[in-house]
Structure 1
Amino acid sequence: MRRWTWAVAIVAVLGVGVAAYMLKPVTGPARDLTLVGDVERGNYLIRVGGCVACHTNNQAGTGFLAGGRGLSTPFGTFVPPNITSDPDAGIGKWTLAQFDDAMSNGMGPQGNLYPAFPYENYTLMSDQDIVDLYAALMATEPVSTPAADSDIPFPFNIRLAMSGWKNLFFSPGRFEPDPAQSEVYNRGKYLVMGPAHCVACHSPRNALGAVDRSALLTGSPGGTGGKAPSLTRDALVEAGYDVASLAQTLEDGFTPGFDVLGGAMGEVISDGTSHWTAEDRAAVATYLLAE
């Protein structure tokens, strides 16, 4: 009986330890939120960050950034929310600190955010980019109609469980440029890994929906991240791309094989990359095609 008592006690202690670890907050380094936001620059970041393609439902005509179409995943259907300046239907009541917590740590006023919102990438953004983006969103036309509710079945609808997911798979931090590489290369890497979150869609994910870090940009067969082709250098070269043609495709959607990109990537181009500067499109192409 004494052995069983000790065994139960050890299991209980281990269980408490595991629970404490899995439920602990996951936060990155503090940001300088005293910076002055630039609305014009933030409007550009709305396009860089893919906000329009995700949070605008052009088919329903519900309004700019007023909520997007549902993203179907093995864990449920996630509907991108209204992120206009409306205080009730949107995020107009959010403080800069709350916005930063969502972007950098995946924590919203309602609790843990699901990684369908790519905070794993947004955490890499610079402090100035976060402040500018917030300023621009607070300056948007408010839309008072809330987005549809997400359809997330039990047990995935328990937000507290996302603390465990974060402790296993999420490491918040800021982008660190490679001093051995050019400024253009580092700008491209920042965009791909950070705000543009190309890596989130073009990489496979494991059974728990986390990006497979050992196979970044090798393509996604489907599932949580949707189906997306490989963006490795070898795959792009095989498809006929060089830096100039890849940058051109990001502007107009035409491929070297005289095809036109449609579907989700078509929306990314029409709502996002076609609005970028030529320098940013070239930077992404430079990074992806670097040897």
Structure 2
Amino acid sequence: MKKALIVLVLLAVVAAGVGWVLSAPTRMSEQRAASLQSGDPAKGELVFWAGGCASCHAAPDAKGEDLLKLGGGLRLETPFGVFVAPNISSSETDGIGGWSLTDFANAMTHGTSPDGRNYYPAFPYTSYARMTGTDLGDLYAFMKTLPNVEGDAGPHELGFPFNIRRGLGLWKRLFLDPEPVIATPVGDGSVDQALWDRGRYLVEGPGHCGECHTPRDVAGGLKLAEWLGGAPAPTGEGRIPDITPVEGKFGSWSAADIAYYLESGFTPEYDSIGGEMVKVQENMARLPAGDREAIAAYLKAIPPVIEVAN
């Protein structure tokens, strides 16, 4: 009996050690970090709007130049608790003004803070992990030009066990994957491949559309088999729609309809956009027309999700 107890204790110690190692925050390779360069702020501004940074980190009712004051404070109420969007302004004390480009890139692509903590995936780094080094460098350069906003936005409000950040390292091993979600379509040549590739990059990467439009499992990971097939709203109120090309639903929209919707906020039936999508559409309207066309081309050529009730 005593020997059995000793064996169990040893197994528990080994399991705890393995769990500790596997849950450690990850960072990009030294080779990739060395290849990063601070880029062009003008190009970075387009990445900023594509990534929707102001939608979470500016004041909720911000307009105009105030959208560039990223003091945080937005409260995201979810089944896991309340996440508070942090200050990501150029403040060196309360924001990210003291971060290096490598710090910034590790946060964006690995969900790891400069001091080695795991970030919660309310920050959509599982999508940003697909961003190119060039876009990361351009975005970093633009972020350095933004106003300094003082003040800590406050901590997240999470209960046990969700308040244990270390466990997120295991979560990231399951759900953090920089590879594309949708494979390149094999068809009759009717799809403009370069346009579709650009659309995939914007939707799956900086645009992080799947973070809201794709359902999640009990662990909070995206169900990639139901990619963009609609999901319950994170707040628990209502449903975010299926934006795959399902006949009779979103699939009845043409690529031109989708591009115009992202530009103007009007559906083919001339209903106006509403809810959280308002901010997304306003961000997309700032992108070049070709990017909105690319998003539309991608959405028209992905597999429809027909099993999800809407």
Normalising by structure 2, we get a TM-score of: 0.84
Equivalent position of 1:218 in the other structure: 229
Gaps of 5+ in 2: 187-191, 303-310
- Indicate how the Cα distance of structure 1 residues 231 and 162 shifts in structure 2: closer, same or farther if over 3 A, else same: same
Cα deviation, 1:170-229, whole Å, max 9, x if unaligned, reads: 234689984967000000000110000001110001112111122111011234797311
| Range with greater deviation from structure 2 (151-160 or 256-265) | 151-160
CA distance in 2, matches of 1:275, 1:153: 39
**Secondary structure of 2:266's match?**
coil
Do 2:212 and 2:240's aligned partners in 1 also have CA atoms closer than 8 Å? yes
Letter in 1 for 2:119: L
Equivalent position of 1:57 in the other structure: 59
How far the C-alpha of 1:35 sits from its partner, in A, is 2.5
Gaps of 5+ in 1: none
Equivalent position of 1:90 in the other structure: 95
Equivalent position of 2:132 in the other structure: 126
- 1:279 aligned to 271, 275, 290, which one? 290
Cα deviation, 1:22-77, whole Å, max 9, x if unaligned, reads: 32443455245442410111111110101011111143787622215211111111
Do 2:118 and 2:169's aligned partners in 1 also have CA atoms closer than 8 Å? yes
CA distance in 2, matches of 1:119, 1:31: 17
How far the C-alpha of 1:277 sits from its partner, in A, is 0.8
Equivalent position of 1:142 in the other structure: 148
Matches within 5 A, 1:106-185: 106-110=111-115, 111-172=117-178, 178=184, 182-185=193-196
How far the C-alpha of 1:267 sits from its partner, in A, is 1.3
Do 1:175 and 1:194's aligned partners in 2 also have CA atoms closer than 8 Å? no
**Secondary structure of 2:77's match?**
strand
Letter in 2 for 1:128: T
**Secondary structure of 1:72's match?**
strand
Equivalent position of 2:307 in the other structure: none
- 1:200 aligned to 200, 211, 218, which one? 211
Equivalent position of 2:26 in the other structure: 26
Normalising by structure 1, we get a TM-score of: 0.89
Name the count of aligned residue pairs.
290
Query: What is the RMSD computed on CA atoms of the aligned residues?
Result: 2.7
Do 2:202 and 2:295's aligned partners in 1 also have CA atoms closer than 8 Å? yes
**Secondary structure of 1:233's match?**
coil
CA distance in 2, matches of 1:225, 1:45: 30
**Secondary structure of 2:82's match?**
strand
Do 1:26 and 1:166's aligned partners in 2 also have CA atoms closer than 8 Å? no
- Indicate how the Cα distance of structure 1 residues 171 and 17 shifts in structure 2: closer, same or farther if over 3 A, else same: farther
Letter in 2 for 1:84: S
Letter in 1 for 2:177: S
Equivalent position of 1:246 in the other structure: 258
Do 1:246 and 1:285's aligned partners in 2 also have CA atoms closer than 8 Å? yes
